[in-house]
Homo-oligomer: A and B are copies of this chain.
Amino acid sequence: MTATPILTAVRARDLAQDLPTVRPDSDALAAARLIASHRLPGVAVVDADGNPVAVLPASQVLRFVVPTYIQEDPHLARVVDEATADRSAGALAGKRVGDLLPARGQRVELAAVEGDATALHCAALMARLHSPLVVVTDDGRVRGLLTAAHLLEVLLSSAEDGSGQASTK
């Protein structure tokens, strides 16, 4: 394996994937569908100006299909009757993304980077914030998302072909 300049040469705008974001007033079911269809670790929540608000993790969405008393003791799921427990995805109907977000102090801060930020900058932010994704902006508009898994993929493929060029999508 050879060292390559990918971390400092490749820019966030070339790494960003065209994945949708949601707003606090977006439909909760739509956010759940985004996470499911793209197999995302969570979805990025931005405000009306495109500023990052938080990550809505997939596990946090699941919380809303589970009755509270079962969240507290998952073993009760074994004995609960279907009529009581089976709110399933219906529990998300009518809810907003803002209703699903963790309390402000418990949120995963969503990082945003400018399009010309290096891959190194993106990696450092995700590591520091324990965030599975960052929002990439260009001229103040959301250009796309970069997940930690995708960034790892780019780093590894670069290291393995030894070219120092990233396959960026």
A binding-site residues for B, Cβ under 8 Å: 1-9, 29, 32-33, 35-42, 57-63, 65-66, 70-72, 74-75, 77-78, 80-82, 85-90, 93, 117-118, 120-121, 123-132, 147-153, 155-156, 158-159
Contacts and interface: CB of A to CB of B under 8 A. Distances in A.
Given A35-B152, A36-B153, A77-B124, A89 B158 contact: yes
Nearest to A125: B74
Chain A interface helix/strand/loop/mixed: helix
A77 B117 contact: yes
Nearest to A31: B152
Nearest to A6: B88
Contact of A130 (B29, B57, B124, B155): B57
A93 B156 CA distance: 11
Given A65-B7, A158-B88, A159-B89, A71 B152 contact: no
